[in-house]
Amino acid sequence: MKSCSEELLLHLTERGFQGRIVSARRLHDLQEAIEGFHRKGLVDEEFYQERLAWFDFRIPDSLPKAKSIIVVAVPRPQSQAVFKWNGESQTLILPPTYVAYDDTRKMVEDIVEEILEPKGHRIARTKLPLKLLAVRSGLGTYGRNNICYVVGMGSFLQLVAVYSDMPCHKDSWRKVQMMKRCQNCHACRLKCPTGAIASDRFLLCAERCIVFHNEKPGDIPFPTWIDPSWHNCLVGCLHCQKICPENKDFLQWIEGREQFSEKETALLLCGVALDQLSAQTVRKLKKLDLIEYQASLSRNLGVFIRR
């Protein structure tokens, strides 16, 4: 008879996902790694405060007897936003994970809960560094670009993790791993226009990454050292993932496309408030999960329209 954890992992595989289960005692390792980078001054302070300081490595109050962490990789596509402007169409990509991020997280949480609940186990949400967790659990491997790759998915995936009170007697916790292929490949480093992927250290210089800047609120202008021609996505950046040979089978995978008329594009470029946009525009933004970034669209879209 299959154990509860075996049954869960099998169920995830049947859906095309992949998962690993690690002991909740590994939280300490995750905390040490993230805080260690900070203590050693290896992470830009602004990046740390905005992107890493919110992690929570404590067992949640809602599940004080949590014993394990279940981490799952779900294949995810790119999406497209098309903006009409001056009689032409500007098609911009949204990288995997921007669209339906919360829906995907919820879907995985529901699946795990449906399987574990009848067996008397409960789950709780995490606030953890998911890439690091996936790599140390054996689910994924880092690329030189510090993105997490999973066999059969490339880097076109979303990670989800939950706590559970299901015991974990044995896990596959391991040291941080970089893909074997990266040893003789520097394609992402050479393609990255900002120098964020350094030749003398593994850790990304995250403060140089375009993503860090184009996800910021729209009233924060791009730093002057970012050349407008470097932008390649409406939000995020795909230069280092598109050039990666590990992703060659997934590059054409685009799902979800919304088109904005000249009038809608003009309003977005002007940065008008959400409540002044038509219901139809708001619906399109919702479908692309751009409500959160609506206030950044004027700046982000502007670099493509004006260049």
- 209-238 positions binding ligand SF4, by CB under 6 A: 209-211, 237
Is residue 174 packed enough to be buried (19+ CB in 10 Å), middle (13-18) or exposed (0-12)?
Answer: exposed
Q: How far is the CB of 264 from ligand SF4 (least distance, A)?
A: 27
**How far, in Å, CA of 177 to CA of 180, rounded?**
9
Measured CA to CA, the distance from residue 24 to residue 57 in angstroms comes to 10
| CB of 158 or CB of 281, closer to ligand SF4 | 158
Q: Is 36 exposed, middle or buried (0-12, 13-18, 19+ CB in 10 A)?
A: exposed
Edge-to-edge strand list for the sheet holding 68-75: 18-23, 68-75, 157-164, 123-125
Map the footprint of ligand SF4 across residues 39-58, applying CB under 6 A.
none
Using the contact rule CB under 6 A, the part of the chain among 24-32, 97-105, 166-174, 184-192 near ligand SF4 is 184-192
Residue 181 interacts with ligand SF4 (CB under 6 A): yes or no: yes
Q: How far is the CB of 187 from ligand SF4 (least distance, A)?
A: 4
Q: For residues 169 and 248, which CB has a smaller minimum distance to ligand SF4 in the complex?
A: 248
* Interacting positions 128-147 with ligand SF4 (CB under 6 A): 143-145
Question: Which among 72, 136, 134 has a CA at the least distance from the CA of 109?
Answer: 72
Closest residue (Cβ) to ligand SF4?
143
The CA-CA-CA angle for residues 17, 96, 24, to 5°, reads 50
Judged by the rule CB under 6 A, the positions of this chain that interact with ligand SF4 are 143-145, 179, 181-182, 185-188, 192, 194, 196-197, 209-211, 237, 239-240, 243-246
